[in-house]
Amino acid sequence: MAKPRLLVTTSTYPRWPGDPGPAFVHELARRLAERFEVRVLAPHAPGAATYEHMDGVEIRRFRYAPAALEMLAYDGGILQNLRMHPLRTLLLPGFVLAQWCAVTASLWRWRPASVHAHWVLPQGLLARLALLPFRVRPPLLVTLHGSDLYRLTGGFAARLRRWVFAGAAQVTVVSDAMRQSLLEAGLSAAAVQVAPMGVDLQSRFVPSVDSVRDPARILFVGRLVEGKGLGSLVRALPAIRAAIPEARLDLIGDGPLRAGLEQQVEALGLAAHVRFLGPCPQEVLPEHYRRVAVLAAPFDRAEGFGLVLVEAMGCACPIVTTPWTPLASFIGDDGRVVAADDVAALATALIATLSAPEEATRRAQALASRASQAFGWAAASERYAAILSTLTETRA
The band of 372, judged by pLDDT with boundaries at 50, 70 and 90, is: confident
Question: Mean of the per-residue pLDDT values for the chain?
Answer: 93
pLDDT, position 374? 86
Note the pLDDT of residue 259.
94
The pLDDT confidence band at residue 394, using thresholds 50, 70 and 90, is confident
Sign of CA dihedral 383, 305, 261, 235: negative
Local structure of residue 266 (DSSP, 8 states): H
Query: What are the structural domains, with CATH classification, of the chain?
Result: 5-198+376-395 (3.40.50.2000), 217-374 (3.40.50.2000)
Please return the burial class of 239, using the count of CB atoms within 10 Å of its CB with bins 0-12, 13-18 and 19+. middle
What's the start-to-end Cα distance of the chain, in Å? 15
Question: How confident is the model over 165-220, as pLDDT tens digits?
Answer: 999 999 999 988 899 999 998 999 999 999 999 999 989 999 988 889 999 999 99
pLDDT at 146: 84
Q: What angle do CA 110, 111, 114 make, to 5 degrees?
A: 120
What integer pLDDT is reported at residue 18 of this predicted model? 86
Residues linked to residue 42 through DSSP beta bridges, in sequence order:
61
The DSSP H or E segment spanning 337 is strand 336-337
**Distance in angstroms (rounded) separating the CA atoms of residues 136 and 273:** 60
Torsion from C-alpha of 312, 315, 320, 321, nearest 10 degrees: 20
What is the average pLDDT across 372-380?
Answer: 89
**What does the pLDDT read at residue 265?**
97
pLDDT digits (tens, 9 = 90+) for 287-315: 999 999 999 999 998 888 888 999 999 99
Distance of CA 31 to CAs 54, 115, 164, 273, 347, Å? 12, 16, 26, 41, 40
pLDDT in tens, 62-104: 999 999 999 999 887 888 888 888 999 999 999 999 999 999 9
155 or 370: which leads in pLDDT:
370
Give me the pLDDT at residue 299, please: 95
Q: How confident is the model at residue 396 (pLDDT cuts 50, 70, 90)?
A: low
Which residue in 5, 126, 2 sits closest to 395, CA to CA? 5
Are residues 322 and 370 in contact, defined by beta-carbon separation less than 8 angstroms? no
Q: What is the pLDDT of residues 262-284, one digit of tens each?
A: 999 999 999 999 999 999 988 89
Query: In the prediction, which pLDDT does 162 show?
Result: 93
